A and B are shown apart, each in its own frame.
Chain A
Amino acid sequence: MLDTTVDNMIEEKPKIIARDVKVVYGDKEALRDVSLDVMDKTVTAFIGPSGCGKSTFLRCFNRMNDTIANCRVSGSLIYDGQEISAHDPVTLRARIGMVFQKPNPFPKSIYDNVAYGPRIHGLSKNKADLDGIVEKALRRGALWDEVKDRLHETGTGLSGGQQQRLCIARAIATEPEVLLMDEPCSALDPIATAQIEELINELKQSYSVVIVTHSMQQAARVSQKTAFFHLGNLVEYNDTGDIFTKPSDPRTESYITGRIG
């Protein structure tokens, strides 16, 4: 609790500003007029029951919704002083990395997994440079010590928790500013979850992390800000401590006390 207060004091300019964001799948409205600011060097958690639109909102940030046919996003999302829809998706996704629900390493070596992003964006000048980037990313992903002797073994041979940390390392290898995590621990056991949470805690020193989670305990453990979504609406967005101790909306209270969800 003390930790969060300190973090709030060093709060900076918002990293992403969302205003009246609306997402429609065909004729089904998935998200209604959501406005919130994502802060830098902060972990923001999106919580809410299944189908509440939290993942959909997260996927607006790096334009992953573009890949879904008949999905339309309207409203304003500003990143780096510019509308997200005006950014090129390729460069945008290099700066706003994403970690998915299920660990999805490429069926290639651990090294190639991490090196893929830097390679396609031309971030390294030579092999030694790339080796350095890979090592740095794996160290930050808290995976280096476990895999440094088998960098050229396939990434799919790792355990679930290691795979997810590999995916995190892969996402941060392109030096993003924002890291989006879509339920990153839902496929992991408690020990692996604890490792990932510890990692998130470290990552927030350098990045703005947005995490979608089903688990309220997890939101309480890792985040400084929490947004509660319900049926496509943003019900409440506040400091995590406040959301869990004195929610202002009765729906939030029902959810965190387990009456809905």
Chain B
Amino acid sequence: MSLKARQSKEKRFQFAGLAAISIGLLCLVMLFASVLSAGLPAFQQTFIKLTFNLPADKLDKSGNRNPQEMKKVSTIGYTKVITEQLKLNLTKAGLEFDQLSKKELKNMISKEAPAQVRYAVLEDPSLLDREFEMVLLANGRIDGYYKGRVTKKSAELDVMVSPKQLELADQMKRAGILETRFNGRFFYWPDASDLRPEAAGLGVALLGSFYMVLIVLVLAVPLAVCTAIFLEEFAPKNRFTDLIEINISNLAAVPSIVFGILGLSLFINFMDLPQSAPIVGGLCLTLMTLPTVIIAARASIKAVPPSIKAAALGLGASKVQAVFHHVLPSAAPGILTGTIIGLAQALGETAPLLLIGMVAFVREYPSLSPEGIFEPATALPVQLYNWTVRGDPAFVERASGAIIVLLVFMITMNLLAIVLRKRFERRW
């Protein structure tokens, strides 16, 4: 081959490599752009700030401020009161609302608001009959109007919102009653029903994911590290251990949904553990993560030079001492990296959780005590999936917001793995 041909071949190869990287980067940029543009609005919410003077004669008929008796007034009772209060506030601000029907006026505010006010009043009955300010969620469609999802034109065809409501919202915004701002509740509120996307949050999902990752950490890591040490340092090399080795590699390649089926039949049907509970999800994810961590741990144990072990043995250390004093500390950074990557994988896994019922609609937080792992919860990726299948575009926006949260966790964990590896990497 002539020199020219060789050089042009190298040029072509370099060009192909550059092109591949550029396409990859372009896709990444597009991914981030679409996720961010769709998801960032989820962190914003439109709120209505009202001055309340709640009538005690309607909300506490016995008049003794006893929360037990005040509970008799349901959210429907509160809805009426809140609508009255809204009217008072609008009048005070000099805004016209006669053109709106009673229902339209009521629906300016989220259906979540009565529950919110009722909860506040039951917590502190002294709020009745005096002035205080409270910030309520605006209806999801009005929120969508300020995020460009809803226009006055689309509102004409929408049974959930009317152009008149949007007109009033604009006036309220100018009067300072209504504003769109950062919504921290997105992170700690539970999921909400189809009719009130504006109230939906990631609270239960985050807690559920946290529990599951914790279970994986506690179960998978010691098991995997012990397995790796045993196979690498103590087990005899024979057909049986070869078989185990091959099976561990195969397990790492098993589709994750299979672990869901296994979890369903083993943990729920056979062991009678509760459905939708983080304990079952955690166990499934542990099974799924084990091979990954074992393989990473074995690789990093293998990478420790045998001369280190020989030195320890030559000094009279027992095999266990040689492994635990010298091999394991040297392999620890690699094991740690593998663990973090395994945990990130577990955090992002959806399929097995769908099968064990974590896809259910859960509004109650699992308790913070250890029993919480037996109580229903959802997980971050499942919540995300759950929102994408709902009709209201407001949920799609929230799903994108959840993707951002998930990605932030993933990137943080992977960065942590890289930092740890760089920090503790040893050159022999």
A residues neighboring B (CB under 8 Å): 62, 64, 67, 69, 89-94, 97-98, 100, 102, 104-107, 116-117, 120-121, 156, 167, 170-171, 174
Contacts and interface: CB of A to CB of B under 8 A. Distances in A.
25 contacts: A67-B310, A69-B237, A89-B316, A90-B318, A91-B316, A93-B315, A93-B316, A94-B316, A97-B315, A98-B314, A100-B307, A105-B311, A106-B311, A116-B315, A116-B325, A117-B316, A120-B315, A120-B317, A120-B321, A156-B426, A156-B428, A167-B311, A170-B315, A171-B314, A174-B316
A104 B313 contact: no
SS of B interface (majority): helix
Interface of B: 236-237, 305, 307-308, 310-318, 321, 325-326, 329-330, 426, 428
Contact of B314 (A64, A69, A120, A156): A64
Contacts of A100: 307, 310-311, 314
A197 B314 CA distance: 21
A67 B311 contact: no
B315 A69 contact: no
B331 to A, nearest CB: 11
A190 B256 CA distance: 59
A66 B307 CA distance: 15
A106 B312 contact: yes
B310 A107 contact: no
B315 A104 contact: no
Contacts of B428: 156
A89 B321 CA distance: 13
A175 to B, nearest CB: 11
A97 to B, nearest CB: 7
A203 to B, nearest CB: 16
A117 B315 CA distance: 6
Given A120-B325, A121-B316, A156-B426, 16 more contacts: A64-B314, A67-B310, A90-B316, A92-B316, A93-B315, A97-B314, A97-B315, A98-B314, A100-B307, A100-B314, A104-B308, A104-B310, A104-B311, A117-B315, A171-B314, A174-B316
Most buried by A among B311, B313, B326: B311
Contact of A64 (B313, B325, B326): B313
A100 B315 CA distance: 11
Nearest to B310: A100
A93 B313 contact: yes
B314 A62 contact: yes
Contacts of A97: 314-315
A105 B330 CA distance: 13
Contacts of A104: 305, 307-308, 310-311
Contacts of B330: 107
